[in-house]
């Protein structure tokens, strides 16, 4: 009886181990795909290919929706393209995911300062 | 067995922190700005004298401002540029459309550049520890009592349509800079501060691109 229990436990443990391993594999796989797209996007942006960078970072977000880095980078790209509402949304998402990240905070602060004067003028007009 | 578990746990922790280290790249991005007004629709630009709130010793602030804008605008405005002296009555004159309408009668396509200004200097002192702060450029790493001469320029600029008296553009600029040299002159600092105003003002009215720094990160 005890031997039977041991055998069942061993099977359960093996199954749990196998599923954990598979889970880790898929997780690490999606993370590596995400990292790959993230890096690709950075390289594209450094070569001033911002449309390509946007495509890559959007893809990175598909693999890893909670990537603060991808959301931050996408925000920078949107800023560059003059898509301010989209940039704001992405910065806010990035900050929500990583509120202590000083680089994201710095980007968002600069973004707000750069466009605040225009906004104030718009508000006055309205 | 316990030893093995501890080892595995340690390995996971090391892997986790090595993956969590953050890399970043500074990039210079040219950011587009929408032009606040179309200068091409005007044939003449009148640069008026400025409402100076407090005169600066040994420095003709108004004259320097008029010269600065007249010379800078020549490079961006295709029409005629001339100067016009205004006698200032009250402070809130910029909002009085009737005043501006009657200032240049018969001017159909004329734009007036005007504004008010306050330029001040002060000595700031601080006791410093020996540490460096990236963001504080005026008081870098040093020990003891530090003294800086600060100049602050508060400039309100208005672009007013002569025909209607309507304000087409207004912005307040507050620029400040500290100098280590206690003998720094108001004249020298003025041009430093006006450089900052120039970049923002022309970027606003012409919709020129501006270079800003941003961080791209990978986690």
ipTM, two decimals, is 0.73
Q: What's the pLDDT at A124? A: 43
* Interface contact flag, A82 B204, Cβ < 8 Å: no
CB atoms within 10 A of CB A79: 26
Q: What is the pTM of this model?
A: 0.56
Q: What's the pLDDT at B174? A: 92
Cα dihedral sign, A95-A97-A101-A103: negative
- Asked whether the beta carbons of B160 and B84 are under 8 A apart, the reply is no
Average pLDDT of the segment spanning B60-69: 94
**CA-based radius of gyration for chain B:** 26
Q: A–B: how many Cβ contacts below 8 A?
A: 64
Cα–chain-centroid distance for residue A83? 19
pLDDT surpasses 90 at A65:
yes
- Return the H-helix or E-strand segment holding B159: strand B144-161
pLDDT surpasses 50 at A119:
no
- Return the H-helix or E-strand segment holding B17: helix B2-20
Contact list in B for residue A104 (CB cut-off 8 A) is 215, 217
* Interface contact flag, A107 B29, Cβ < 8 Å: no
pLDDT surpasses 70 at A23:
no
Average pLDDT of the segment spanning B78-92: 87
pLDDT surpasses 80 at A20:
no
Contact list in B for residue A39 (CB cut-off 8 A) is 218
**Residue B69 Cα, gap to closest chain A Cα (Å):** 21
Percent of chain A, pLDDT > 70? Answer: 71
Average pLDDT of the segment spanning A15-24: 56
Average pLDDT of the segment spanning A98-107: 94
**3-state SS string for B66-127:** HHHHHHHHHCCCCCEEEEECCCCCCHHHHHCHHHHHHHCCCCCCEEEEEEEEEEEEEEEEEE
Residue B164 is given by DSSP the state: T
* Interface contact flag, A103 B29, Cβ < 8 Å: no
pLDDT surpasses 90 at B63:
yes
Half-sphere exposure of A91 (CA within 13 A, CB side): 24
B217 to chain A: closest CA residue: A69
């Amino acid at each position: 009886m005890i031997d039977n229990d041991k055998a069942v436990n061993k099977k359960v443990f093996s199954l749990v181990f196998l599923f954990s391993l598979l889970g880790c594999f898929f997780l690490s796989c999606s993370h590596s795909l995400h990292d790959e797209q993230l890096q690709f996007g950075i390289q594209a942006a450094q070569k001033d290919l911002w449309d390509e960078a946007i495509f890559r970072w959007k893809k990175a977000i598909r693999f890893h929706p909670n990537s603060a880095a991808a959301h931050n980078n996408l925000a920078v790209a949107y800023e560059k393209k003059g898509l301010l509402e989209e940039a704001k949304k992405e910065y806010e998402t990035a900050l929500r995911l990583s509120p202590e990240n000083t680089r994201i905070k710095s980007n968002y602060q600069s973004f707000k300062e750069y466009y605040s004067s225009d906004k104030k003028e718009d508000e006055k007009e309205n | 067995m316990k030893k093995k578990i501890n080892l595995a746990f340690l390995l996971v922790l090391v892997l986790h922190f090595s993956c969590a280290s953050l890399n970043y790249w500074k990039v210079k991005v040219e950011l587009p700005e929408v032009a606040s007004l179309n200068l091409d629709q005007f044939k003449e630009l009148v640069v008026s004298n400025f409402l100076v709130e407090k005169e600066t010793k040994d420095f003709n602030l108004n004259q320097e401002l008029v010269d600065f804008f007249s010379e800078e605008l020549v490079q961006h405005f295709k029409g005629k540029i001339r100067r016009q002296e205004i006698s200032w009555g009250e402070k809130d004159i910029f909002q009085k459309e009737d005043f501006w309408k009657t200032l240049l009668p018969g001017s159909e396509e004329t734009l007036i550049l005007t504004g008010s200004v306050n330029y001040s200097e002060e000595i700031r002192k601080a006791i410093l520890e020996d540490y460096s702060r990236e963001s504080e450029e005026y008081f870098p790493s040093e020990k003891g009592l530090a003294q800086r001469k600060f100049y602050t320029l508060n400039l309100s600029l208005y672009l007013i349509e002569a025909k209607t008296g309507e304000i087409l553009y207004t912005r307040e600029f507050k620029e400040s800079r500290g100098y280590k040299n206690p003998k720094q002159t108001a004249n020298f600092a003025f041009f430093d501060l006006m450089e900052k105003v120039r970049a923002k003002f022309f970027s606003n009215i012409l919709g020129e691109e501006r270079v800003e720094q941003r961080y791209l990160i990978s986690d």
